Amino acid sequence: MAWKNTKIKMKKFLTILSLATILFTSCSKDDDLIATTDGAGQTTLTFDATFNGSDFALNKDFALGTKTFNFNKFRYWVSNLILVNAAGEEVKVQGSYYLIEETGAINLVGVNNEVSTTIYPATKREDVSLKEIPAGDYKAIKFGVGVDQKYNDNLSLQSGELSQLNGMTNVSWMWLTSYIFTSATGTVKEGSTSKSLKVETGLNANYKTVSLNFPQAVKIGSSKSSSIILNVDVAKAFDGIDVIATPTVGASQASVMTAVANNYATKVFTVKSAN
């Protein structure tokens, strides 16, 4: 009897040991599965427009020093987005041409010297969804303000959201039509003086790249949602610019246009949060 009891106890022990082994193996496989299937993910990139610390809005007065600004349009191209991972490797977002804007309805009659009755609808767009990003930790972002030369010199080429049908092209800057990189229009007042405001940038020489480091690593993967919020201070676009003396900025005001483009590259964009 003692031998039989010992045999029964041994069988129970072996059964428990087998179950433990199976459970351990299953857990190990699940852990491996999580580690190996957290592949490409996505993140939301937000361009949060402000003006000297206040939320940006159309048809609203903004004081800046002795001047008061009021806008009816703010639009700009973001292009060639790159995320930099923890190892310093650059991950390019394919087809990344995005029109960020806050505008009322735009009548496109006469754009590009074409007869049209097209109305571009009132639009507010601040968010961009970046998809199919390799899983990993990312420490910085780079992007262009405007449209690079390849597409700027040939509007028949298409990528991302590039189009001639949104009022962001100009035929007066060069022999061929090219994109308007940034556009801020409205009015500006100083004392009893009031001027119509139209500050735009364009031309290949004014295509600028912005580079921003995140305050902490952004983890992107299929199992985790993430977001990057950039502060876009419209007031910084006019830093050092006398918009009362030069309320219209275009190709004819080349040096002022370059100064505005440099402001976009170095002052307008900062990181608000990244997680």
Phi, psi (rounded to 5 degrees) for 29: -65, -40
pLDDT(107) > 70:
yes
Q: How confident is the model at residue 225 (pLDDT cuts 50, 70, 90)?
A: confident
| Residue that is written with structure tokens 């996505």 in the block | 42
What is the residue type of 249? V
| Residue that is written with structure tokens 């590009």 in the block | 112
Q: What whole-number distance in Å separates Cα of residue 110 and Cα of residue 229? A: 36
Is there a contact between 147 and 162 (Cβ–Cβ < 8 Å)?
yes
Q: What whole-number distance in Å separates Cα of residue 260 and Cα of residue 250? A: 10
Write out pLDDT tens, residues 120-174.
899 999 999 999 999 999 999 999 999 999 999 999 999 999 998 899 998 877 7
Q: How far is Cα of residue 79 from the mean position of the Cα atoms in its chain? A: 8
Residue 93 makes CB contacts below 8 A (sequence gap 6+) with 81, 82, 83, 130, 133
Report CA torsion sign: 106, 180, 182, 229.
positive
What's the whole-model pTM score? 0.83
| Among the ranges given (9-18, 35-44, 116-125), the one the predictor scored with the smallest mean pLDDT | 9-18
| pLDDT averaged over every residue in the chain | 86
* Selection from 53, 214, 48 nearest residue 128 by Cα: 48
Report CA torsion sign: 155, 159, 163, 168.
negative
Residue 239 makes CB contacts below 8 A (sequence gap 6+) with 263, 267
Per DSSP, the residues of 180-192 read EEEEEEEEEEETT
Write out pLDDT tens, residues 163-208.
988 999 988 777 678 999 999 999 999 999 999 999 999 999 999 9
pLDDT(19) > 90:
no
Phi, psi (rounded to 5 degrees) for 258: -65, -40
Length of the chain: 275
Specify the 3-state DSSP secondary structure of 37. Answer: helix
